[in-house]
């Protein structure tokens, strides 16, 4: 038995060795302990894994950021990868100031991780192990500087399914990616004279932040005097930094933009400033605009126009496929109160309040998260597998209720115990709230520019725009409830309503099935067994609750039966909440015959394709975005679109935002968008992309590609 146990343990150890990246021993360069560490335990064919260069720097010594400051040299990595594998740029950690005598440098002390995205080709074979090799060059300094280097390797398994996080380094690499400077929708401008350079920044991320230690780290080393003081002037919406201009402004060619990182309140944000007047709410710059860059889509809308856009977007949102399941609940409720005008009006107002309250709650959460430095947008809650799984069970519960398995209150649209009052007002409120939640996967026309503009403004202005969106979304149902002529055309309540109610359960079943599909794309097939088990438990709970209700109606006291049903219902939701879900599965697959060959989006992939003289089509999408999925079938999965890509030689890049991705969020924000879909077409010669409408046809795709090839 002992021999068997020893063999079993040896087999498990061997399996573990093949299941996780095998890093070589850390290399001691003299003053640095360096090694390559991975975020995930492997990579899927066509997938991407983040591999970080870890530096453990000797006490008192430091290495350098991408802009080293007055002296020094940035850390460099030269990759040697198998054919077809590619490495992205270094994701630089936020720097700190490293003063050396009269000089000011920027870099790192202690331990720092610098992640790099490594992309596998689709031809990579699951089961094989590839070796990543990196030659790292450091300049490490104390009172003196010493150039040091290391050749580092990492053996990385290619796996068929979504890999789990690396047990040792997964959390550390994830934290490094989260802490890296990202765009946060800051509005920035600068002005200059012979003696000073003023940089003004405003945005939600700066409101309430501790600005006492704010500091600007420029990407370019020649735009400011690094050793000079940066004087902070606080404003109600942001701040102004006054600095000593550098060589570019005093003797060289002044740059059109000022790019870099703002460190404030313990966080770091990337931004680009143009020369011009200061953003509202910062201390004055005083200089007229000399040269202003072209605004992103949605920039300069103003509150009035953004509100109108949001109102129109909310109206159109009612026609989006993601809202169809909730139309069933709306229709059922309206039919039940069609000939009771006072009750119908109360229902309409309760629905309006539910919609507005939920829109504002989601907007408040979105604004708060962005203020914390996270790059999120509209529909951000559906990037969480926990939220998707919980919504899938909620949709199933609604469907089971409409099917008659159990009843809740007296309202046909009630969804939770105690939600439906005697007049059904709580049920109407909850229906409005649920309608907003399921509408999040869709972005209607007019919504994109409005929300993109709103999220660059102060919190009250942003909430006003979201209020317009909610008013537009709720308007059709609420106005219908106040239209006696329309209500009079509906048939009077009768036995037909029970049949209609049960028929309307099927769109909810469809919504639950769709959310389960999204969950599997986010977390792999292991999540499928978990959500199906929870669904079975929930269905059993609904049946037991329905049985208890029938016994109670017959004069019984089924306390134990009802309590059992409630415990099982709670258990079903607990089952999808814990433990945490794994890493996302790779959504893309090998292209079928006649389909469009696609590659994973990255800024480097765009630059590489454009350098080769090819048009580029970037599809910003997500599995939970119903509008995106409709376009996939209607516009892209067609012979006409495939022929257009083949004819023009265009490169098709897919930016999948199914789960949180800071690079994609930053690119969306750069184009004034807060969510997907977004379609960008880069011409062969034109430096700026063309933004296509949110609803596409094969003819529109073909026309855009033909134009891109010649422009």
Indicate which CATH number applies to the domain containing 635. 3.40.30.10
Question: For the chain, how many residues are written?
Answer: 711
Q: Are residues 62 and 120 in the same domain?
A: yes
Q: Are residues 602 and 477 in the same domain?
A: no
Q: Are residues 465 and 511 in the same domain?
A: yes
DSSP annotation of 580? -
DSSP annotation of 445? T
Dihedral angle sign, alpha carbons of residues 88, 94, 97, 100: negative
Own/partner long-range contacts of 537-541 (Cβ < 8 Å, ≥24 apart)? 537/568, 537/571, 537/572, 537/575, 538/393, 538/396, 538/397, 538/400, 538/568, 538/569, 538/572, 538/573, 539/396, 539/400, 539/405, 540/568, 541/565, 541/566, 541/567, 541/568, 541/569, 541/571, 541/572
**What integer pLDDT is reported at residue 117 of this predicted model?**
95
Burial class (CB in 10 A: 0-12, 13-18, 19+), 554: exposed
Residue 536 lies in a domain: no
**What integer pLDDT is reported at residue 93 of this predicted model?**
96
Q: How far apart are CA 534 and CA 531, in angstroms?
A: 5
Residue 9 lies in a domain: no
Cβ atoms of 388 and 624 closer than 8 Å: yes
Element (H, E) at 76: strand 76-80
Q: Are residues 122 and 139 in the same domain?
A: yes
Q: Are residues 84 and 173 in the same domain?
A: yes
Which regions in the chain score pLDDT beneath 50?
1-2, 4-19, 284-299, 409-423, 585-591, 593
Q: How far apart are CA 574 and CA 48, in angstroms?
A: 31
Q: Are residues 60 and 79 in the same domain?
A: yes
Cβ atoms of 644 and 701 closer than 8 Å: yes
Q: How far apart are CA 603 and CA 620, in angstroms?
A: 13
Indicate which CATH number applies to the domain containing 166. 2.60.40.1250
Note the Cα 317 to chain centre separation in Å.
20
Element (H, E) at 417: none
Residue 529 lies in a domain: no
Nearest to 669 by CA among 382, 374, 432: 374
Written as one string, the DSSP assignment of 186-254 is -EEEEEE-SS-EEEEEE-GGGTTS--TT-EEEESSTTSB-TTS--EEEE-SSEEEEEE-B-HHHHTS--
**What integer pLDDT is reported at residue 11 of this predicted model?**
44
Written as one string, the DSSP assignment of 357-395 is HHHHHHHHHHHHHHHTT----TTGGGGSHHHHHHHHHHH
Residue 461 lies in a domain: yes
Q: How far apart are CA 289 and CA 51, in angstroms?
A: 43
Q: How far apart are CA 683 and CA 505, in angstroms?
A: 47
Q: How far apart are CA 313 and CA 318, in angstroms?
A: 9
- The boundaries of the domain holding residue 647 are 598-710
Structural domain ending residue among the three candidates 523, 543, 560: 523
Q: Are residues 347 and 456 in the same domain?
A: yes
Q: Are residues 203 and 79 in the same domain?
A: no
Cβ atoms of 34 and 150 closer than 8 Å: yes
Where would I find the H helices in 524-652?
Answer: 526-553, 559-577, 603-611, 626-631, 639-648
Q: Are residues 451 and 420 in the same domain?
A: yes
**What integer pLDDT is reported at residue 411 of this predicted model?**
32
Structural domain ending residue among the three candidates 523, 545, 565: 523
Q: How far apart are CA 546 and CA 448, in angstroms?
A: 44
Q: What is the 3-state secondary structure (H, E, C) of 644-659?
A: HHHHHCCEEEEEECCC
Coil, helix or strand at residue 135: strand
Residue 559 lies in a domain: no
Residue 585 lies in a domain: no
Q: How far apart are CA 159 and CA 16, in angstroms?
A: 13
Cβ atoms of 316 and 469 closer than 8 Å: no
Query: Whose structure tokens read 């002529």?
Result: 485
Give tens-digit pLDDT for 514-537. 889 888 877 777 788 889 999 999
Residue 587 lies in a domain: no
Domain count, the chain: 4
Q: Are residues 238 and 317 in the same domain?
A: no
Residue 553 lies in a domain: no
Indicate which CATH number applies to the domain containing 187. 2.60.40
ω into 3 cis (within 30 of 0): no
Q: How far apart are CA 209 and CA 545, in angstroms?
A: 50
Structural domain ending residue among the three candidates 230, 259, 275: 275
Q: Which residues contact 666 (CB under 8 A, 6 or more apart)?
A: 182, 183, 270, 375
Q: Are residues 172 and 187 in the same domain?
A: no
**What integer pLDDT is reported at residue 374 of this predicted model?**
53
Q: Are residues 243 and 333 in the same domain?
A: no
pTM of the entire structure? 0.48
- Count, in order, helices (H) and strands (E) of the chain: 20, 25
């Amino acid at each position: 038995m002992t021999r068997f146990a020893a063999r079993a343990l040896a087999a498990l150890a061997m399996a573990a060795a093949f299941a996780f990246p095998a890093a070589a021993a850390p290399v001691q360069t003299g003053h640095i302990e360096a090694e390559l560490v991975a975020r995930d335990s492997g990579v899927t064919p066509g997938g991407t894994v983040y591999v970080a260069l870890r530096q453990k720097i000797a006490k008192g010594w430091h290495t350098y950021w991408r802009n080293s400051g007055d002296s020094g040299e940035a850390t460099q990595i030269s990759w040697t990868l198998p054919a077809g594998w590619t490495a992205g740029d270094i994701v630089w950690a936020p720097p700190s100031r490293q003063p050396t005598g009269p000089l000011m440098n920027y870099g790192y002390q202690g331990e720092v991780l610098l992640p790099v995205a490594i992309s596998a080709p689709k031809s990579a074979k699951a089961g094989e192990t590839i070796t990543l090799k990196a030659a790292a060059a450091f300049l490490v300094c104390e009172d003196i500087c010493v150039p040091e280097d290391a050749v580092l390797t990492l053996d990385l398994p290619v796996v068929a399914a979504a890999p789990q996080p690396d047990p040792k380094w997964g959390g550390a690499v994830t934290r490094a990616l989260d802490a890296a400077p990202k765009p946060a929708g800051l509005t920035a401008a600068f002005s200059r004279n012979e003696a000073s350079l003023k940089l003004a920044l405003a945005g939600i991320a700066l409101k309430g932040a501790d600005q006492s230690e704010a500091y600007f780290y420029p990407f370019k080393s020649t735009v400011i005097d690094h050793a000079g003081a940066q004087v902070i002037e606080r404003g109600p919406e942001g701040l102004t930094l006054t600095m000593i201009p550098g060589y570019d402004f005093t003797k060289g060619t002044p740059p059109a933009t000022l790019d870099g990182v703002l460190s404030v309140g313990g966080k770091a944000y990337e931004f680009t400033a143009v020369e011009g007047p200061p953003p509202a709410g910062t201390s004055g710059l005083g200089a007229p605009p000399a040269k202003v860059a072209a605004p992103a889509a949605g920039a300069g809308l103003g509150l009035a126009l953004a509100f109108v856009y949001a109102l129109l977007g909310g109206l159109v949102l009612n026609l989006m496929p993601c809202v169809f399941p909730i139309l069933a609940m709306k229709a059922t409720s309206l039919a039940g109160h069609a000939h009771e005008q006072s009750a119908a009006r109360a229902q309409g107002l309760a629905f309006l309040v539910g919609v507005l309250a939920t829109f504002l709650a989601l907007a408040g959460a979105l604004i708060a998260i962005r203020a914390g430095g996270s790059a999120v947008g509209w529909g951000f809650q559906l990037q969480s597998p926990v939220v998707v799984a919980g919504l899938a069970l909620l949709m199933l519960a609604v469907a089971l209720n409409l099917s008659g398995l159990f009843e809740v209150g007296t309202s046909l649209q009630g969804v939770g115990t105690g939600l439906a009052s005697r007049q059904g007002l709580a049920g109407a409120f909850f229906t409005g709230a649920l309608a907003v939640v399921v509408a999040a996967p869709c972005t209607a026309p007019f919504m994109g520019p409005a929300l993109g503009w709103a999220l660059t403004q102060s919190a009250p202005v942003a909430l006003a725009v979201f209020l317009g969106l909610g008013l537009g979304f709720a308007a059709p149902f609420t106005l219908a409830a106040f239209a006696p002529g329309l209500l009079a055309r509906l048939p009077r309540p009768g036995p037909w309503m029970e049949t209609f109610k049960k028929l309307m359960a099927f769109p909810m079943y469809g919504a639950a099935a769709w959310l389960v599909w999204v969950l599997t794309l986010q977390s792999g097939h292991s999540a499928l067994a978990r959500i199906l088990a929870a669904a079975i438990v929930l269905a059993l709970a609904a049946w037991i609750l329905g049985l208890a209700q029938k016994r109670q109606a017959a004069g019984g006291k089924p306390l134990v039966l009802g309590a059992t049903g409630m415990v099982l219902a709670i258990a079903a939701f607990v089952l999808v909440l814990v433990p945490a879900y794994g890493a996302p599965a790779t959504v893309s697959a090998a292209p079928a015959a006649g389909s469009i060959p696609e590659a994973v989006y990255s800024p480097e992939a765009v630059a590489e394709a454009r350098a080769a003289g090819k048009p580029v089509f970037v599809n910003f999408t997500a599995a939970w975005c119903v509008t995106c999925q409709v376009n996939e079938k209607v516009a892209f999965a067609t012979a006409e679109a495939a022929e257009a890509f083949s004819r023009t030689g265009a490169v098709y890049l897919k930016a999948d935002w199914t789960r949180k991705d800071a690079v994609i969020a930053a690119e969306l924000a750069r184009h004034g968008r807060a969510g997907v879909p977004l379609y960008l077409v880069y011409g062969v010669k034109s430096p700026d992309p063309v933004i296509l409408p949110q609803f596409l046809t094969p003819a529109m795709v073909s026309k855009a590609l033909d134009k891109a090839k010649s422009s």
